[in-house]
Structure 1
Amino acid sequence: MPTVFTSTHTASDIDRLADSVSQLLPSEGDQITAIPGLSLHRRKAVTAPMHCIYGLGIGVTLQGRKQAMVGEDILTYSPGQSMVTSVDLPVISHICQASAAKPFLGMMLRFDSSTVMQVAERMQLSQRMRDDAFKPITVQALDAGVLDALKRLVDLLKEPPLLETVAPLIKEEIIARLLSGAHAPQLLHVIAAGSPSQHIAKTVAWLKLNFRQALRMDDLAAQAHMSPSTFRQHFRTVTGMSPLQYQKQLRLQAARHLMLTQNVDASSAGGQVGYESASQFSREYSRLFGEPPQRDIKRIRL
């Protein structure tokens, strides 16, 4: 196991980063920044639960509070805490504390798995890890060094000429600090050669690209070098759901995105994401999102 280092921060440190985010994002919404993987978020009221996918990376709440439901687990993170996701996962998340006077402010920074692996190798942290306590999403106290690096990364948005050169260095610093802190065991599971978690992470990555295809459980298990029963057990441990449930969520979220962004009708959207039956698509869509496709899209656009 790596040696874990932690350092404490003060409320004023978080307030300073919150001020920087507020200046860059003065009104309600989400901002995809010029730094790859970095997004800023602001909400003036509590939001309804939304289905989304959390990717490999870190999420930080700077003001307000946010919840994420992963399987049957409910994780809440507030200012002073960080949420790290080590495997791409469908989650249900919502802002649970926000107001016009004190809006929710948050940020997310996604990582590339190859960069995480390279940093870990330079730190000589690529040893095999045990899988018995693995969790794909963890909430920990926000390390002062990580907070300082995040502040420098956000402030770099005000210096465009330096973005291409300096931003990757700060992102690597953040990864290195996470690999030296409380989140380290979970991140190391994903890169540990030969670990069941790494095999499942590779399966998840494959499913994200191939969710339209019909699944053959035996083939997935063989790719992960496991028996079908062991594969299903490890997949559920890592993601909180079965491979078929995971595929279904990917399909339905992709269909919803098509209908929202490209004005695709429900039957066409279902077909494009792999459904052969329009009635099955509508039934499963209603079960996940609470309403039939057309009614759900109309509600979101209001």
Structure 2
Amino acid sequence: MTNLTNLTELKQLIARHAPDEGFFDTAVPALTLIRSQAVSDPVHTLYDPSFCLVASGRKRARIGSREMVYETGGCLVVGIDLPIIGAVIEASADEPYLCLKLSLDRGTMADLLLQDSRSGDAPPPPERPGAAGILAATPELIDAAARLVRLLDAPQDIAVLAPLVVREIHYRLMTGPQGTILRQIASGESHLGQIGRAVAYLCDNYAAPTRIEDLARIAGMSPSSFHEHFRTATAMSPLQFRTRLRMHEARRLMVAEGLSAAEAGFRVGYDSPSQFSRDHARIYSRPPRRDLLRMQAEQAY
């Protein structure tokens, strides 16, 4: 009953602080509230390490070749920067999709991991976990999430209390069913932590020529081992991952800065406009110009 009560309160809080369609940044650092009143087409997004808890509705997330569905009372946990294709698959005006997203802090995770390792309670991790997963939220996690959103009604308390609740949420996640993802990312010396270093490099240098050997050296692995672990973590090859990063930024440049497809392609590292157009059409199912017109029409609407 407590779990249901807290989830109902969380739903009401999100609905009140996200009164319209869209994404709402909040006064609590790293906390975003999301509302959708209809099912949506697939949307390509670059997720940072984060925790998403659904208070109402259902969403499908596709990461490379891996697909996951999470719904009311369920969470998506993402341990590294990942290109994700998301679609709301259950929502209506009467029962909107309501979700909170909290960006996760690696320093907090590392600190909690250090404390936990001293206690000797850390469970043995699986050999090769993926970098994202879903779980059913525990009553304690839902309670902490509700308390965090509730702080929006007491802005004078946010500076002092929000960091405490955010730390508690990190703790609940790291000791929960998908805690392995975050524990390995925080460790740095695990395979997932090593892949995280290569991903961070790719996110900062997606426009530069990149060799697998260089990424493997950053990760501290052999090229063959790196390729295998990278695909396990992200469900993509390193080059597929880089292409997704390039396309995400190219779309932003075309929409936000008014660049042409050729200009955006060159800016993100393509030497050939035709290759950029082919990759764009393969990922987004339409050539750059048609895709840009569609996004501009959506913004106008």
TM over 0.5: yes
Matched, 1:84 2:83: no
Cα distance in structure 1, aligned partners of 2:144 and 2:128: 28
Q: CA deviation at 1:267?
A: 1.3
Amino acid at match of 1:104: Y
Q: 1:131 to 1:181 in 2, by over 3 A?
A: closer
Partner of 1:119: 112
Matched, 1:284 2:284: no
Cα distance in structure 1, aligned partners of 2:281 and 2:51: 31
Q: 1:115 to 1:74 in 2, by over 3 A?
A: same
Instruction: Describe how 1:233-248 pairs up with structure 2 within 5 A.
Output: 233-248=228-243
Q: CA deviation at 1:128?
A: 9.7
CA RMSD of aligned residues (A): 1.7
Q: CA deviation at 1:129?
A: 5.4
Q: CA deviation at 1:164?
A: 2.0
Matched, 1:189 2:196: no
Does the 8 Å contact 1:45/1:97 carry over to 2? yes
Q: CA deviation at 1:37?
A: 1.5
Cα distance in structure 1, aligned partners of 2:123 and 2:15: 41
Cα distance in structure 2, aligned partners of 1:82 and 1:70: 15
Partner of 2:20: 27
Instruction: Describe how 1:223-242 pairs up with structure 2 within 5 A.
Output: 223-242=218-237
- Deviation string, structure 1 residues 164-192 (Cα, Å, up to 9, x no partner): 22211111011111122212222112123
Q: CA deviation at 1:263?
A: 1.8
Partner of 1:42: 35
Partner of 2:8: 15
Secondary structure of 1:124's partner?
helix
- Deviation string, structure 1 residues 55-83 (Cα, Å, up to 9, x no partner): 21211111110010122222111111111
Amino acid at match of 1:300: M
Matched, 1:67 2:40: no
Instruction: Describe how 1:69-218 pairs up with structure 2 within 5 A.
Output: 69-124=62-117, 130-218=125-213
Paired residues in the alignment total 295
Structure 1 gap ranges (5+)? 1-7
Amino acid at match of 1:279: S
Cα distance in structure 1, aligned partners of 2:258 and 2:209: 26
Cα distance in structure 1, aligned partners of 2:89 and 2:194: 34
Cα distance in structure 2, aligned partners of 1:189 and 1:67: 25
Amino acid at match of 1:80: G
Q: 1:170 to 1:130 in 2, by over 3 A?
A: closer
Q: CA deviation at 1:132?
A: 2.1
Out of 236-245 and 261-270, give the one that drifted further.
261-270
Q: CA deviation at 1:242?
A: 0.8
Q: CA deviation at 1:10?
A: 2.9
- Deviation string, structure 1 residues 23-78 (Cα, Å, up to 9, x no partner): 11111111011222211111111000111122212111111100101222221111
Amino acid at match of 1:236: R
Cα distance in structure 2, aligned partners of 1:62 and 1:128: 29
Q: 1:106 to 1:136 in 2, by over 3 A?
A: same
Amino acid at match of 1:46: V
Matched, 1:266 2:261: yes
Out of 188-197 and 44-53, give the one that drifted further.
188-197
Does the 8 Å contact 1:131/1:196 carry over to 2? no
Cα distance in structure 2, aligned partners of 1:75 and 1:153: 26
Partner of 1:3: none
TM-score, with structure 1 as normaliser? 0.93
Cα distance in structure 2, aligned partners of 1:228 and 1:161: 52
Q: CA deviation at 1:301?
A: 2.3
Does the 8 Å contact 2:2/2:139 carry over to 1? yes
Q: 1:284 to 1:193 in 2, by over 3 A?
A: closer
Cα distance in structure 2, aligned partners of 1:204 and 1:91: 14
TM-score, with structure 2 as normaliser? 0.93
Cα distance in structure 1, aligned partners of 2:125 and 2:139: 28
Partner of 2:247: 252
Amino acid at match of 1:132: E
Q: CA deviation at 1:117?
A: 0.8
Secondary structure of 2:111's partner?
helix
Amino acid at match of 1:59: C
Cα distance in structure 1, aligned partners of 2:265 and 2:65: 27
- Deviation string, structure 1 residues 229-251 (Cα, Å, up to 9, x no partner): 11111111111111111000000
Q: 1:131 to 1:234 in 2, by over 3 A?
A: farther
